[in-house]
Each structure stands twice: as structure tokens, then as C-alpha cells.
DNA sequence: AAACCTAACAACCGCCACGAG
DNA sequence: TCTCGTGGCGGTTGTTAGGTT
């Protein structure tokens, strides 16, 4: 007897998600946070497998996901990381925080693999191994250096009581604290980290800022942690509008709800640029869904003091959990162990503009044989 | 205009790791 | 230590849009 399926196969819907389903899922996660996927279908009424809900969230609806064309830099990153890590897409995706592993995997399979294959065919002298090996050496050396730096930083963090490092990058702006291993410090910093929440989300540039909120954190759910999903909802509704004209399932229902859908779509479409207002009931219900989305998206700077964090120890666990769940996939801000610290630095190094630039130089060297790839 | 082909991407499936009891 | 539930991950398939014949 094998393990029972994660969900009852009977009555479970498969195939593409409809906007209605997306909205149900999003609103549920907004209310309850991501996690306990098993309960999601039950609590939302979605006729979907819990795993399907999780995948839909992580691969499509999750805040901060960048879609569309991969930049040259991203492609280079993927190629090199793939050479180093193999098909460990999740690991590769951790270096491209705005991309999902699925997205990277698809891009690799549909674009990059062919590019490389073509390149290898046109230039048989270009051996994959040598290509990887030379670069790998550079990476490993840099990794060693970073581990050393990380250890040093850790030592400093342990010796100083105000461990604060600021990471500012071109693609990601994170203000965080150095994680430590001593119990008190660790807990303290963990709590500081957990109290930070996305205060500024710039999807255009993929820029996040995290700000420790003052002590006023309600006992109940914190919808604002879904603040960055406005674009996602807007996007899915755009898809809704498009698909509604051809999706029989939806178009068949296009009767009285069509107008409200249109107006909501307009609203969400413009919501990214301005604060509009409309009286459509459907829209209002969505507005309430989006409310809490945060006012802070207009903030442009990140400010954070140690005081604010230390005075907010009464945070409800749900909030903490919610934020953990929201952020972990993107930035791994909460470091469960000291072992993650070097990784953090490595990530910092990877995304640091200067470092990337420097590193790109080395990439250029190692990619000299494949200039036409890019 | 229709049939066919291909690329792109969303979603599914099965396996595995991990934590709780 | 074992079992079970859950979530993560990678491989694969299915669907659809766009291009070509």
C-alpha cells in the first residue's frame, strides 16, 4: 500500500487556474498566510489539491515575482549557476530572487540549453568542462573569500551588540541584521528580522525594502504582508479579461458580472499607477481585499531603528509566521542557523552591483569563447 | 483559411527530506 | 526508532499562442 495521494483525486480540479480561483487563493493567503497548504482547499472551497495551491502561489501569485524576458545578466547567472550546481533549480533560483525555480527551469530548457548546444556545435573546441572548470575555480576562490568574510562578520556581530549590516543592491534592497548563534542575540535578532516587513516594493526594479514596524501590530492577521501582490492580482485580472473572451468556462458566465469585471480590471490596471475610485460592488470587494496592501508602497526609503524592533516583542505568532512564509522564498531573511550566514554574504556578493560588475568581468573572461551567446 | 509545427510556459507527478508524535 | 503528514524539488506533460506551409 503506497502513500495515499496528497488529495482526493475525485473531485479535484486540474488544469489552468481561473482568475476566480486565483482570487480565492490570494484572499485566503492574505488572511491566513502561506503555509498549512493542506488546509487551503478545505478552507477556501477550492477544488484543488493542496500541492496545486502551493505551486500556484509560489510560481505565480507570490509577491515579488518578476516575469517576462530574462536579462543578459540573468541568463549569464543561470548558465553559470547551472554549470556549478547542476539542475538544482531551487538553489539557482535563490540567486535570482525574483524568478521562480520553475521559471528558470523553463527558460533553461527552452532557451539556454539550446543556445549552449548550438554554441557547442558551432565551436567544438569549446569544451563544456573547461568552460566550467575555469570559472568554477574563480567561483570557489571567491566563495572561500566570502566564507572568510562571513566568519569575520560573524565574529564582529558576536562581539558587538549592535550588529547591523546594510545591504543595498541594484536589484534588491534589504536592510537586515547579522544573524548570530548565541541564544539571546540570536533570538533578539531573529525577532528583529521577523518584525521587519516589506515596506517598499518596487516591482519595476525588483526593489524591496524592509522596515521594522513600530510596536502596533494587531493581534490578528496582517494583510499588509501581501502588499506586494497588487501587481499580481492586476496581472491575473488582465489575464482574466483576455481569457474571458475565449475561455468558454468564463465566457459562458459572462452575463451580469461582465461589466463589473471590466471595471475592476480597469481599476486594477490603473492601481499600479494611481489611486482610482469606482463604485462597482465587485471592485469594492476587491478593494477591501487589496486594502492593507499597504500604504507603504509609496515609501521610498528604508528607515529602521533598533528601538522599534525591540519594543515589539508581542508580535502574534501568526504575523511572524506569515512574514516568514512570505519572505523566505525570496530572500531568506530569517537565518535559521549560522551556516546560512556565509550564504547570505554570498548572495550579497552576488547581487551587489559592484561585485556583480567585477564578477561579470570574470564571467566575460570565461565566456570569451561564447560571445555570440549574448 | 486550414493544417501543421514549434516555442513558451503553466501545471502535474512522483520522489525525497524533514519534523512531529 | 519508526511512522506519518507535509512541503520542497526536479522532471515531465499539457495547453496555447504564434508562425509557417
Name the protein residue, with chain letter, whose CA is nearest the C1' of B8.
Answer: A110
Highest-confidence range of A82-86, A161-165, A232-236, A256-260, by mean pLDDT? A82-86
Phi–psi pair at A353, nearest 5 degrees: -60, -45
- Cβ neighbours for A331, distance < 8 A, ≥ 6 positions apart: A97, A172, A174, A208
Query: What is the 3-state secondary structure of A172-187?
Result: CEEEEECCCCCHHHHH
Give the tens place of pLDDT for each residue, A86-128.
888 888 888 887 888 888 888 888 888 877 777 776 766 654 4
pLDDT higher for A237 or A131? A237
Rounded CA-CA distance A53/A300 in Å is 33
A56 touches strand B (CB under 7 A): yes
Rounded CA-CA distance A278/A272 in Å is 15
Is A361 a residue whose pLDDT tops 80?
A: no
- What is this structure's pTM? 0.51
A52 touches strand B (CB under 7 A): yes
Rounded CA-CA distance A27/A78 in Å is 33
CA to C1' distance (Å), from A181 to C16:
51
CB-contacted nucleotides of strand C (7 Å): 5-12, 14-17
A59 touches strand B (CB under 7 A): yes
CA to C1' distance (Å), from A259 to C16:
26
Rounded CA-CA distance A179/A196 in Å is 14
CA to C1' distance (Å), from A321 to B20:
18
A99 touches strand C (CB under 7 A): no
Calculated CA dihedral for residues A65, A319, A230, A256, nearest 10 degrees? 120
A111 touches strand B (CB under 7 A): yes
Is A345 a residue whose pLDDT tops 60?
A: no
Across all strands, nucleotide nearest A39 (CA–C1'): C6
Amino acid at each position: 500500500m503506497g502513500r495515499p495521494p496528497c488529495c482526493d483525486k475525485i473531485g479535484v480540479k486540474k488544469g489552468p487556474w481561473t482568475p476566480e480561483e486565483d482570487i480565492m487563493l490570494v484572499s485566503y493567503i492574505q488572511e491566513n498566510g502561506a503555509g498549512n497548504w493542506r488546509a487551503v482547499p478545505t478552507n477556501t472551497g477550492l477544488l484543488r489539491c493542496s500541492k496545486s495551491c502551493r505551486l500556484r502561489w509560489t510560481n505565480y501569485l507570490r509577491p515579488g515575482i518578476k516575469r517576462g524576458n530574462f536579462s543578459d545578466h540573468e541568463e549569464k547567472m543561470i548558465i553559470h549557476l547551472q554549470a556549478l550546481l547542476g539542475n538544482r533549480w531551487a538553489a539557482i533560483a535563490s540567486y535570482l530572487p525574483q524568478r521562480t525555480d520553475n521559471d528558470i527551469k523553463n527558460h533553461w530548457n527552452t532557451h539556454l540549453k539550446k543556445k549552449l548546444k548550438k554554441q557547442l556545435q558551432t565551436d567544438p573546441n569549446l569544451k563544456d568542462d573547461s568552460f566550467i572548470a575555469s570559472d568554477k575555480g574563480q567561483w570557489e576562490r571567491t566563495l572561500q573569500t566570502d566564507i572568510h568574510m562571513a566568519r569575520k562578520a560573524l565574529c564582529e556581530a558576536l562581539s558587538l551588540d549592535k550588529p547591523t549590516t546594510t545591504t543595498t543592491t541594484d536589484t534588491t534592497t534589504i536592510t537586515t541584521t547579522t544573524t548570530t548563534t548565541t541564544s539571546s542575540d540570536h533570538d533578539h535578532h531573529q525577532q528583529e528580522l521577523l518584525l521587519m516587513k516589506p515596506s517598499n516594493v518596487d516591482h519595476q526594479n525588483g526593489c524591496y525594502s524592509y522596515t521594522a514596524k513600530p510596536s502596533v501590530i494587531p493581534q490578528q492577521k496582517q494583510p499588509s504582508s501581501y502588499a506586494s501582490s497588487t501587481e499580481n492580482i492586476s496581472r491575473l485580472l488582465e489575464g482574466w479579461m483576455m481569457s474571458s473572451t475565449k475561455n468558454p468556462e468564463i465566457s459562458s458566465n459572462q452575463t451580469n458580472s461582465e461589466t463589473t469585471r471590466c471595471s475592476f480590471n480597469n481599476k486594477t490596471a490603473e492601481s499600479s499607477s494611481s489611486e482610482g475610485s469606482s463604485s462597482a460592488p465587485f471592485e469594492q470587494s476587491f478593494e477591501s481585499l487589496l486594502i492593507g496592501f499597504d500604504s507603504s508602497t509609496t515609501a521610498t526609503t528604508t528607515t529602521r531603528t533598533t528601538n522599534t524592533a525591540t519594543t515589539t516583542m508581542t508580535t502574534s505568532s501568526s504575523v511572524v509566521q506569515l512574514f516568514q512564509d512570505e519572505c523566505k522564498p525570496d530572500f531568506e531573511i530569517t537565518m535559521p542557523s549560522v551556516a546560512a550566514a556565509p550564504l547570505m554574504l554570498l548572495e550579497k556578493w552576488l547581487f551587489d552591483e559592484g561585485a556583480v560588475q567585477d564578477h561579470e568581468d570574470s564571467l566575460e573572461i570565461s565566456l570569451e569563447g561564447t560571445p555570440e551567446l549574448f
